Chain A
């Protein structure tokens, strides 16, 4: 494991829980949706944690919680060893400059009426960093670092390609020299050939600026490419966590196994694990292990008792009744 006992991690989230109240139908009773249900994670400086899982499993909510954009209903987030200040306060605003978010849709994240240069400079203006000349220099440096040409500062978002827009978003996010970057599906909207450009860029920028990254995606290939650790989420909980290569090559949780086998791969059509049924409804969480209705190896205990996320001897964290009994796990 990479965690060293001496240094405190940059980001430490304990048992995060976030509920939403949602009405079924315009007149129905509000039901509770546990978008995030007891998630703990930690992230070190200069490292990337990949977060994968199906749509609606709570990845984005987790991202917003660790950034302090939303307050958890339970659990704590510590940034650089100190608890997160309350949203809206002055210390919170100061902290916000140290953490940035990058979203899936670069066109939506940019203001279509402002030029790229103005938008990259905006965080510097807001947080009052440097004088005018220093800001100009910093903007040019950021554009260069993200692979944009200086004259592209004069362009409007719609005049750039998808990959260039996402570069501009990254340049803006990096303007305040953040210690933490939460990238929520930063490449999903991009073409395959552009995805590679952005992934390379993220790795390069991390090396250059030492930023820690929480990389949210549903694409395990992409996560492996950029992450040092990976956490697999299912219905608001982390079900497996480990080194990307280990998880990819010997996934321990049945859900991770299905996810890994679903990675399209030339010449390996037949042997996919096909999950039955649809992704679950967070408003109607199954009893016991939330995965048991779709799990190909579920047994009686799974529908009654919820498995805890615990470490195996090799250090992998898994939340499955079977994963800690190697004999059965292998048979499965």
Chain B
């Protein structure tokens, strides 16, 4: 199976401060990949960089390929055809991610015109179909509404409809449910899963909540301080987490049954990106640290099929839990 999108050694820095420190990742057609990690670990920056959406001051290096064609630093014309077309992205805060002065229908039709050549009544009819598809009630009239006239959940659905307008092969959903109520979150996750099945679309779901990702994805990449520290199928991540940070994330999740004991909180906090530890970035918080951890950055190693982790003590850790 060839990958649809591949990131190789993708690195980003802002004004000399590194934000991403070498990301390798591949997404196959129709696959759902979750990305989790602490706030500021670089989840959003990864995909903003891949699509050339970062502000000019960001320095981006590495390689991003779509069907083996390099798209990093591609010409604007190439990127414009691809963004919203083959790869669509939706953002965390639906209310401020929609243009407040344009009607929703107009914003969706713009994408339809750019990527499917639809205009006028045909575009409007298709926009209405998309609104129906994502479950916006009273779709025909909502096309003429402004973003402030809809609720947060409805606006998020408009964002999804807009992303689907180009019939993307890959949808990147950056925290699509963080701003929403729990019951609406369930609706949106369900919607994404359904659309993915129906359109055979690959999905990258960015979240800081391992639970959300577990619900909607096949595979998960755990990020810490600008790197991917572990990558594995969902079932395996919960059964046999190899990296102490992943283990910590799972431990920090309050259980929904069993006796109540103190949560295994990860002590300390994320390192300052301007003063990264020389070795493993997690070492200062890591319960399993050994001296070697502080010498060099651990390589990512294969643990099992489709399971990689960047920790010196990954095997030892697994052995304890097996």
> Which residues on A are within 8 Å of B, measured CB to CB?
54-55, 161-164, 191-197, 199-200, 203-204, 218-222, 224-225, 245, 248-249, 258-259, 261-269, 272, 274-275, 277-279
Contact = CB atoms under 8 A, between A and B. Distances in A.
A249 B214 contact: no
B257 A265 contact: no
B252 A195 contact: yes
A50 B160 CA distance: 34
B269 to A, nearest CB: 4
B79 interface: no
Contacts of A164: 269
B182 A259 contact: yes
Contacts of B257: 245, 248-249
Given A192-B249, A192-B252, A259-B183, 5 more contacts: A192-B253, A262-B182, A272-B190, A274-B186, A278-B184
A193 B247 CA distance: 11
Contacts of B210: 192
A279 B151 contact: yes
Contacts of A163: 269
Given A54-B183, A245-B257, A265-B214, A196 B208 contact: no
A191 B39 contact: yes
B260 A196 contact: no
A274 B194 CA distance: 13
Contacts of A218: 181-182
A220 B38 CA distance: 21
Contacts of B276: none
A259 to B, nearest CB: 6
A191 B186 CA distance: 20
A204 B209 CA distance: 25
Contacts of B182: 54, 218-220, 259, 262-263
B165 interface: no
Contacts of A279: 151, 153, 181, 183-184
A261 B186 CA distance: 9
Contacts of B262: 200, 203-204
Interface in B237-273: 238, 248-249, 251-257, 260, 262-267, 269-270
Contact of A269 (B193, B266, B267): B193
B211 interface: yes
B229 to A, nearest CB: 13
Given A262-B186, A278-B151, A54 B263 contact: no
B305 to A, nearest CB: 19
Q: What 3 A-B pairs are tightest by C-beta distance, nearest first?
A: A264-B211, A196-B265, A266-B214
26 contacts: A55-B181, A161-B270, A163-B269, A192-B38, A192-B209, A192-B249, A194-B269, A196-B254, A200-B263, A200-B265, A218-B182, A220-B182, A221-B211, A221-B255, A225-B260, A248-B257, A258-B183, A262-B185, A265-B256, A268-B215, A272-B186, A274-B186, A274-B187, A274-B190, A275-B186, A279-B183
A264 B209 contact: yes
Contacts of A225: 254, 260, 263
Contact of A278 (B154, B193, B211, B238): B154
A279 B179 CA distance: 14
